[in-house]
């Protein structure tokens, strides 16, 4: 298990060497644990989080739709983060997949964010 975490962290460091968020175009960062999915919009110049969302918030809000799978929850997280970012007048972001493969939950978050109105 530790080897997987080290490899993911190395991939994440490689991605982060090329991607950084600014005030105009912040970074949309995705983190997935074994049971939950989290997303943040980050301004790396100031080191501040501009918006955040997770599937825990969706459970509290009792979102409509089928939320029986992690991919469905990830899609809802993408829509929620897009809604919060647009409320703060952020339209364009840079997508940071966090060292994960771009499929499954990570892809669902990206698709949900695009559907919600974010451009990347």
pLDDT of residue 62 exceeding 90: no
Distance of CA 17 to the CA centre of its chain: 18
User: Is 0.95 surpassed by the pTM of this model?
Assistant: no
pLDDT of residue 58 exceeding 90: no
Full DSSP string of 75-119: HHHHHHHHHHHHHTT--B-EEE-TTS-SSTHHHHHHHHHHHHT-B
Share of the chain above pLDDT 90, in %: 87
- Backbone dihedral angles phi then psi of residue 42, each to the nearest 5 degrees: -125, 135
Domain regions of the chain by residue span: 2-116
Distance of CA 107 to the CA centre of its chain: 10
SS3 70: helix
CATH for the stretch 2-116: 3.30.420.100
């Amino acid at each position: 298990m530790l080897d997987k975490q080290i490899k993911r962290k190395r991939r994440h460091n490689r991605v982060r060497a090329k991607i950084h968020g600014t005030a105009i175009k912040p970074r949309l960062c995705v983190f997935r644990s074994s049971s939950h999915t989290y997303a943040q919009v980050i301004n790396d110049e100031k080191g501040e989080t501009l918006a955040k969302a997770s599937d825990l918030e969706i459970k509290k809000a009792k979102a409509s739709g089928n939320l029986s799978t992690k991919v469905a929850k990830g899609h809802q997280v993408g829509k929620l983060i897009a809604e919060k970012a647009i409320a703060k007048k952020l339209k364009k972001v840079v997508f940071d997949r966090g060292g994960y493969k771009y499929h499954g939950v990570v892809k669902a978050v990206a698709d949900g964010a695009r559907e919600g109105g974010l451009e990347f």
